[in-house]
Chains A and B, each alone.
Chain A
Amino acid sequence: MKKIVAVTLSMLLFTACSGSSDEGSSSSDGPVTLTLLAHDSFTPSESIFDAFTAETGITVNVVRSGDAGELVSKAALTAGNPEGDVLWGVDNTLLSRALDADMFESYQTPNLAFMNESLMRNIPGHEVTPVDTGDVCINYDIAWFTDNNIAPPMSLEALVSSTYANLLVVPSAITSSPGLAFFLATVAEFGEDGWQDYWKSLRENGVLVVDGWTQAYSTEFSGSSGKGDRPIVVSYSSSPAAEVLFADPPTDVAPTGVAPLTCFEQIEYAGILRGTKHKAEAQLLIDYLTGTTFQSDLPLTQFVFPVHADAVVPESFTRYISRPERALTIEYNVIAENRAAWLDEWSTIVFK
C-alpha cells in the first residue's frame, strides 16, 4: 500500500514537472502517440510504458517487424520519411548500415552519465544511444559431454579438433545476426587473414551451417527443446538462464553451459528516426528507455544486460550467467568496410 502511495505521489510530481517544461515542445495540441519500431525479439513487460505515459502524457505504440536485419533494411529504405519516431534494436554488427543510410537524428540523453564509456566508442556523433548489451557465445549441452566423458570446448581453436568433429551447429553469417556475430568473433580471434583457414578447418571438421539461430538452437542443438543431435551451438551468454526460466518441468539447474572465451560482444542501440514530427517527445522516450525503470525490466524479459549502472539485475538471472571478462569485438568501421567482401568469401568457403 505504501508503495502505491509513493508511486502515485512520484507520478503526480513528475506530471507537474513535465507539465511546466512541456511548453516549449513542438506539439501543444492534444496527447501525442509515439511509434516505436522494434524487432521481433523486443518483448518488454506488457505495461512497461504505462509509467512513461503517466509521466509525460505520451502514448507509446510498439510496432514490431521482422528480425534486426529486416528492421534496419526497412528503416534504411524509408530514411527521412520514417514509419515511426524511435527505433529499437540496431546492433553493432548492423550499425554501419544504419549510419550509412543516415536514418537517425543525434541526441544525447542525460542517462549517458550512467553508462560505461566503452559503449560509446562506435558512436562519437551520438546518432544512436546504447540500450543493452549481450554476448554471442558457444553454448554446449552439459549432459551430453558428461555422458560421453568428454570435456566441453573452451576456445574457438578447440572447435577444429577432431574431438569435436560433427558436433557444432552455427547459424549462417549471412542470414542471422548471431551468425554474423560469431563470424566476426572468428575474425577478431584469427585476424583478417586468418579466419579463412579457420573456417576451412571448421568445414572439414563437419560444422553444420543452418539458416537462422532458431533452427540452430531449437532444432539441431541437443541441449534445448528440439533435442537435436549436435551438442555445441552458437547462442547467447544468457541462454542457460532462459533454459532455466522457461523449463518445463521447472528446474534450478542450467542444462547448458557457455564457453566464455568464444564470446562476441553485442551492443544494441536505439535512435530517433530522422523525419519524425515529434522530436521532443522522442527524446523523452530515449530517456525512458535508458532510465532505470525500463533498464531493470530488460534482463528477465529479453535476456540482455542493462547499460544503466543503477539498473537492477535480479539474482535469478545472474546465477546462471557468466559474462566473459573480455569479449571479442571488432570496431564498426572495420565491419562497414569489409562486411560485403567477407561474407562473399565466407559463403564460398562454407558452401561451395
Chain B
Amino acid sequence: MTPSPYPKSTRWLVVAPALFLLVFLAIPTAVIVQRGASVDAFADIIANNGFRKVAWFTLWQTTLSTVLTVACALPVTFILARFSFFGKRLLLALITAPFLLPTVVVGTALFALLPDRMHYTASAIIAAHIFFNVAVVVRLVMPRWSQIDPELIHAAHTLGASTARTFRTITFPLVRPALGFASTAVALFCFTSFGAVRILGGPAYSTLETEIYVRSVQLGDLNGAIAVGIIQAIFLIGVLYAMTKFGRHHTSPLTVNIQAPKPTGSGQKVAVAGIAAVAGFLALLPLLAVTWKSTSGWSQVLSSDTMRSLAVSARFAITASIIATTLGTMIALAIAYKTTSSRLLETITSLPLMISAVTVGLGILITFDQIPFEFRSTWWITPVAHSLIAIPLVVRTVLPVAQAIPQDLRDAAATLGSGAKDQWMRIDLPLLRRCLATACALSAAVSLGEFGATSFLTRQTYETLPVSIARLLSRPGDTQHAKAFALSTLFFVFSIGAVYIAETVRATRTKTH
C-alpha cells in the first residue's frame, strides 16, 4: 500500500459528501422505514405468491438484460475507443442520447417499433433495457479502453499473438475493472427499472421497484411497500458485494490522452464502418418513430409552458450535475488518495443504488416538513434527489482515472521543488479533466431523463420536460399526443446536441494540453 500523495490537504474531503448523504438519504430512509416497517407485513409479503413471482422475474430479467447489453455495447465501445473516424462524435452522441431520454418517451417509441406480439412481454422490457443501457457501458468503459497504450498491443502482435489472444491477455484485463463496474451499474438499473417495466411490461410484469410503487402509491399499503423495499435492499447489497469483488481494481498506471489512430487496412475499415453504421441506425430508429408521429404537433410546441419546462429541466440538470460531480469527485479522490478506509467509502457511495428511489422520495416528503427544514416545496429538493442517483456513477467514473495517475509524475515534480497544491493543479487536474467532463454529462443525463420515483417530488410549478410529456400523453386527442411526440423529438435532439457539444468542447480542451 503506497502512502497518500496528499496526506494533509485531502483529509477532510470526505466530510461534505458524507454529510450530504446522511441528511438527504440516510435520515429520510430511516424515517420512512420507521413509519412503515412491521413484522406482520414482512410475513405477509414473503408468504404472498405474487411477490415471489415478482422477485423471480426481477432476477432473471436483470441477468439477461445485463448480459445482452454488454454484448451489444462491446463492439461499439471498441471502435469508439480505438479509432478516430468521420462522424465519431455524432455516433457517440446518438448512442448516449437514449440514456438521457425519459422512459415514457422511449417506451412509447419502442411500442411503435416492436411488432404487436412483443407488446407486454419480457422481451419488450429487455429490449428497452438494452437500448437505454448500452450508453452506460460505452461511457464507463470507453475512457479506460482508449487509454491503453497502443504500443502494448503492437508489441503483442509483433510477438505473434492473435487478435483474440491480445484481447484476452492485454485489453480485457485492463478494461475489466471498468467493465465490471459498468455491468454492475447496468444490472442495478435493470434491477430497479421502473418506467420501462410500467410501460412495456403491462400490469402482468412487475419488478420489485414497481411493486414498491404500486403498493405505497396505488394501493396505499405503506407497510407492504417498506417490506418489499427492505427485501430489495438485501438483494442489492448481495449483487453489489459480488460485483465489487469481481471488479476490484488492481490498476497499473496508464498512459493518458492517446490520439486514436484512423482505421488502417480494408478489414479494419469495413469492420469500423459496419459497426458504426449498424449502431447509429439502431440508435436512430426510436427518434425516427417519434418524429414520424409528431408531424401535426409542431405548431404548438413553442408555447410558453413548453419553454418553461425546458428551462426547468435545464436548471435541474445543471444543479444536479454540479452537486453530483463535486461530491462524487470528492469521494473518488478521497478513495484514490487513501485518506480514509476505501472499503467504507465505497459502501457509503453505493447506498443510493441500494435504496429504492420511491422509498427515498417518500422519506424526503415526510422528513423535511417542518420549518426550518421545510424543503418539500423548494425547487432544489428535486435536483438534490436526482444527484443522489448520480453520485455513485460519478465516483466510479472518476475513481479509476484518479487511481491510475502515475505517482512518478508527482515525485518528479516534488524533486523539482513543486508544492502539493502545485502538483495537484499541474498533474492531477489536467489528467482528470476528461473524466470530469464525462461525469458532468452523465449526472446531467440522469437528471434530465429521470422520470421514476423522484417525479413523485416534482410539483407542477417546476414541471420538467419528461413530466410534461407524460401529462400530454395521458390526455385524449390527436393534437395533444402529437404535441407530446413533438416535445419528445425536441428532447431527443436537445439531448443529442448536448452530448455532441460536450464532446466537442472536451476534444478541443484535450488538444490544447
Chain A interface (Cβ < 8 Å from any Cβ of B): 35, 40-41, 43, 61-67, 69-70, 72-74, 76-78, 81, 83, 97, 172, 174-175, 208-215, 217-219, 224-226, 229, 235, 239, 242-243, 245-248, 303, 340, 343-344, 347-348, 351-352
Asked whether any CB of chain A lies closer than 8 Å to the CB of B296, the reply is yes
Segment at the A interface, from B267-275, B417-425, B453-461, B501-509: B453-461
Residues from chain A with a CB closer than 8 A to the CB of B474 are 40-41, 67, 212-214
Q: Shortest CB–CB separation between residue A300 and chain B, in angstroms?
A: 12
Segment at the A interface, from B22-30, B75-83, B476-484: B476-484
Asked whether any CB of chain A lies closer than 8 Å to the CB of B219, the reply is yes
Bound-state Cα–Cα, A69 to B479, Å = 26
Residues from chain B with a CB closer than 8 A to the CB of A351 are 203-204
- Assuming A76-B220, A174-B214, is B365 touching A248 (CB within 8 A)? no
Known: A74-B456, A343-B219. 13 other contacts (CB 8 A): A41-B474, A63-B461, A64-B460, A175-B214, A211-B198, A211-B201, A214-B474, A215-B202, A218-B476, A219-B108, A246-B479, A248-B296, A352-B50
- Assuming A40-B474, A65-B460, A229-B116, is B482 touching A78 (CB within 8 A)? no
Asked whether any CB of chain A lies closer than 8 Å to the CB of B258, the reply is no
| In contact, B202 and A211 (Cβ under 8 angstroms) | yes
**Which of chain A's residues has its CB closest to B120's CB?**
A210
Asked whether any CB of chain A lies closer than 8 Å to the CB of B491, the reply is no
Residues from chain A with a CB closer than 8 A to the CB of B334 are none
Bound-state Cα–Cα, A243 to B463, Å = 26
Bound-state Cα–Cα, A352 to B222, Å = 24
Bound-state Cα–Cα, A70 to B49, Å = 26
Residues from chain B with a CB closer than 8 A to the CB of A248 are 296, 478-479, 482
Bound-state Cα–Cα, A61 to B459, Å = 11
Segment at the A interface, from B10-18, B340-348, B369-377: B369-377
**Which of chain B's residues has its CB closest to A38's CB?**
B460
Residues from chain A with a CB closer than 8 A to the CB of B456 are 65-66, 70, 74
Q: In which size bucket is the chain B interface?
A: 35 or more
Interface positions of B from 217 to 254, Cβ below 8 Å from A = 217-222
Asked whether any CB of chain A lies closer than 8 Å to the CB of B68, the reply is no
Residues from chain B with a CB closer than 8 A to the CB of A67 are 474
Bound-state Cα–Cα, A70 to B217, Å = 5
Bound-state Cα–Cα, A65 to B455, Å = 8
Q: Shortest CB–CB separation between residue B365 and chain A, in angstroms?
A: 6
- Assuming A65-B458, A219-B111, is B476 touching A242 (CB within 8 A)? yes
| In contact, B203 and A246 (Cβ under 8 angstroms) | no
| In contact, B217 and A73 (Cβ under 8 angstroms) | yes
**Which of chain B's residues has its CB closest to A238's CB?**
B476
| In contact, B198 and A77 (Cβ under 8 angstroms) | no
Chain B interface (Cβ < 8 Å from any Cβ of A): 49-50, 108, 111, 116, 120, 198-199, 201-204, 214, 216-222, 296, 362, 365-366, 369-370, 376-377, 455-456, 458-461, 463, 470-471, 473-482
Bound-state Cα–Cα, A63 to B377, Å = 10
What would be 8 A-B contacts, judged by CB atoms less than 8 Å apart? A63-B461, A64-B459, A74-B456, A77-B366, A78-B366, A217-B476, A219-B108, A225-B481
Q: Shortest CB–CB separation between residue B490 and chain A, in angstroms?
A: 19
**Which of chain B's residues has its CB closest to A171's CB?**
B203
Residues from chain A with a CB closer than 8 A to the CB of B473 are 214, 218
| In contact, A63 and B204 (Cβ under 8 angstroms) | no
Q: Quick one: which of B49, B203, B482 contacts A174, CB cutoff 8 A?
A: B203
**Which of chain B's residues has its CB closest to A209's CB?**
B203
| In contact, A63 and B459 (Cβ under 8 angstroms) | yes
| In contact, B476 and A209 (Cβ under 8 angstroms) | no
Residues from chain B with a CB closer than 8 A to the CB of A40 are 460, 470-471, 474
| In contact, A243 and B476 (Cβ under 8 angstroms) | yes
